[in-house]
């Protein structure tokens, strides 16, 4: 059965894919028909959404589901840690994206990157234990 944290990681990543692709369409339309040169300031936001929002989160959702399972009651490790991964990563990513769009505060960006880092470390812990448990 597909674990619920994986479902939400993948669903959220697909929302980021849709928004990143929409932003890419706007950038390409601006390239073909120059509307406003200020639109090119959205290019780093586009990269961040597609790479950090879609790609990394999609990989985490699939890896959490597909990696070898424990032979116990919790085959994928702590579900609380998986939910912490989901909320920490997405909260940090949203804070980081807000600093790229609206508020260019360096401290808020660092705060967002810290939560992204916490989510990634939690993911590595969840997966690493499952990788080294089989010999």
Whole-number average pLDDT of the chain:
90
The per-residue pLDDT for 70 is 66
List, in order of start, the domains of the chain with CATH numbers: 4-132 (1.20.120)
Report the candidate in 110, 106, 56, 107 with the shortest Cα–Cα distance to residue 85: 56
Rounded average pLDDT over 95-110:
86
Name the CA radius of gyration of the chain, rounded: 17
The per-residue pLDDT for 90 is 97
Chain segment 20-43, per-residue pLDDT in tens: 999 999 999 999 999 898 999 999
Rounded average pLDDT over 55-65:
94
Going by pLDDT thresholds of 50, 70 and 90, the confidence category of residue 66 is: confident
Look at residue 89 and tell me whether its pLDDT is greater than 70.
yes
Residues 6+ apart with CB under 8 A from 87: none
Report the candidate in 73, 70, 85 with the shortest Cα–Cα distance to residue 131: 70
The per-residue pLDDT for 71 is 60
């Amino acid at each position: 059965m597909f674990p619920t944290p994986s479902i939400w990681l993948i669903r959220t990543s697909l929302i980021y894919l849709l928004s990143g692709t929409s932003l890419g369409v706007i950038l390409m339309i601006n390239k073909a028909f120059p509307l406003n040169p200020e639109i090119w300031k959205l290019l780093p936001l586009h990269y961040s959404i597609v790479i950090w929002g879609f790609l990394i989160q999609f990989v985490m959702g699939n890896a959490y589901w597909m990696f070898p399972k424990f032979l116990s009651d919790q085959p994928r490790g702590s579900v609380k840690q998986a939910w912490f991964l989901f909320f920490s990563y997405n909260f940090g990513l949203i804070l980081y994206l807000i600093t790229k769009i609206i508020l260019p505060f360096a401290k808020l960006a660092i705060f967002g990157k810290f939560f992204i880092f916490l989510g990634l470390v939690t993911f590595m812990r969840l997966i690493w234990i499952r990788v080294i448990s089989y010999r």
